[in-house]
Amino acid sequence: MVFISGPESSSGIRYSGWSASRFQAAVVRPFEVASEGPSLRDFARLVLDLRGTVRSLSGSGELRPRLGGRLLRQTTSASSLSLSGSPTAATLTSAAEVNSISTSYGPFVSSFGGASTTTGELDGTYDGSLGDETLTFTVTAGGVVGTSPVLIQITDSQSSTVDSILFGPSYVAGTPMATAFGNTLALSAGSAINGTSFQATVSSTVGSAVDAAKSFDGSGNDKPNFEPGLGVSAGTLTINGVGISVLASDSIASVTAKITASAAGVTAAFDSPTESVVLTQKTGGASSTITLGSDDSGFFAAVKLDTATVVPGADDEVGALISTVSALSGISTGDFSVNGILLTLDVAVDSLQDVLDRINASGAGVTASYDASAKKVSIVSGEQGAALTLDNGTSGFFTALELPEVTAARTAPAQKGFARPSVLRSELGELASALRLIFSEEFDVSGSVQADFAFANLRTSVQSAFEDTLDDTDRDLLRSGLGIDFDFGDRTGGVLKLDEARLARAFSQSPSDLAAFLFDEKEQDGRNGLFAAIEGALDTISAGVAARLGDAGGLLVDRLA
């Protein structure tokens, strides 16, 4: 591309005759701006050659994608009709997080270590009074739990005493003792040796969470961590009249799997991000619901389904009889016409989809459709410039669908892709190589300001090409998302970076976006697309070099002639 010698490249662009070898030969010589010798002239020739090439690329029609569109008449519902385009299923979701306590602590059970055989178990709810802390629980008076007194001192990360708890000689192992920060502390049977300790963290900023994989009968560090006072035991729960057995060794995960596999007709799942159990009807539509029955296992209460409200399903209102859809109550049995073709409908027999299909098959030369995402009806003429005339007749059909006056609009361009993608990809590769040579550190020697001048101008111009895609164009690395990036922090390795995989996807999937990035000219001075931006930088750079040379030897005159 840029340095092809000879009359013409594969893209039909004529170049000025500089080869890559001459480029390389120029850059290996020291660049002394104080001199008007060959090095500065060579640099000027490189800049001018590259400028001419980029100018040819910017103006090349052969390398741009071919996009088309048709001017068609169309009309679309003025506002959302709020019709369900497909059946939706009823759902029932935990009324709140299964464990919605806003504070947390852990581990639940810890060993004091050393020769101590007793363990400490934290339970209850942390009140948040200490903020986020790491607490140390130390035996300051040892003994045998339940036989002799045991004193536990609790200190924070600053070694300040938070609380001291005395477990007397009549203490019953495993009995919770209140702390000053909301939790309880219990000691197991065994000996507590003076000086031994364990640590636990408490947090006022991280909430508690249930573990859906832990069994209901788990204890200590293996407990599922339901909210205090809630738990699940062996029993039976009923959904849609179907009984489902629950074992003490089950977990939230295993019970939801049982529900899904049962004849209840619902799927059940635990959603970790929202920490909730979600039941979904397997059959869509308004008539299929979810009904919770008895539960002697405590599961519904523990996962907060017992206070949840069913979100009902919805029928396919586009496919339902018009007479059954309240949003279409403005339509009556009668006639209407499209482009003079008379059509009829019966609200007790037809659905909205039936009527749209009838319009499409009528020979009126239009396409009628319902957009489920926008929830609007559109009618578009089938040929460029074709008429689109709608008449309500006796049915009130078009008024009920809020179809306004017919307008003319151009359809979205059909992306046909680049005519010669392989050529353009090759041109981009050589452009990257050329910029690497011109702006490499070979020119950035002591006393040389020309390379810095050139580099700064390139950066300023290229930033404008990224303004439509990036909020911050002042950083060193600019990514287009199209496989064409600039790294102004890497002058040696090359400022223009090509990601071949992303570039290939852009050619095949986003040709209009790639074309806009390379070729657009949105600013009044025409320097907004990447090619135009680089060309503008090279204009400024070449003018600066010419001033250094004093245009000696008529270099610029010869090149621009």
What domains, with CATH codes, occur in the chain? 20-66+418-560 (no CATH), 74-85+318-410 (3.30.70), 104-203 (no CATH), 220-278+290-302 (no CATH)
Given a cut of 60, whether residue 533 has pLDDT beyond it is yes
Q: What is the mean pLDDT of residues 523-536?
A: 67
Q: In this structure, is the dihedral angle defined by the CA atoms of residues 551, 552, 558 and 561, taken in order, positive or negative? A: positive
Residue 108 and residue 122: Cα distance in Å, rounded? 5
Given a cut of 80, whether residue 41 has pLDDT beyond it is no
The pLDDT score that the predictor gives to residue 197 is 97
Q: Name every residue whose Cβ is closer than 8 Å to that of residue 14 and which is 6 or more positions away in sequence.
A: 7, 8, 56
Contact 379, 72 (CB under 8 A): no
Q: What is the mean pLDDT of residues 373-388?
A: 80
Tally of CB atoms within 10 A around 279? 25
Q: Is the peptide bond before 7 cis (omega within 30 degrees of 0)?
A: no
Range ranked top by mean pLDDT from 213-227, 312-326, 489-503 = 213-227
Given a cut of 80, whether residue 120 has pLDDT beyond it is yes
Range ranked top by mean pLDDT from 49-53, 168-172, 511-515 = 168-172
Given a cut of 60, whether residue 66 has pLDDT beyond it is no
**Token pair in block for residue 43:** 């640099």
Contact 208, 266 (CB under 8 A): no
Q: What is the mean pLDDT of residues 307-317?
A: 91
Percent of the chain with pLDDT over 70: 77
Contact 355, 344 (CB under 8 A): no
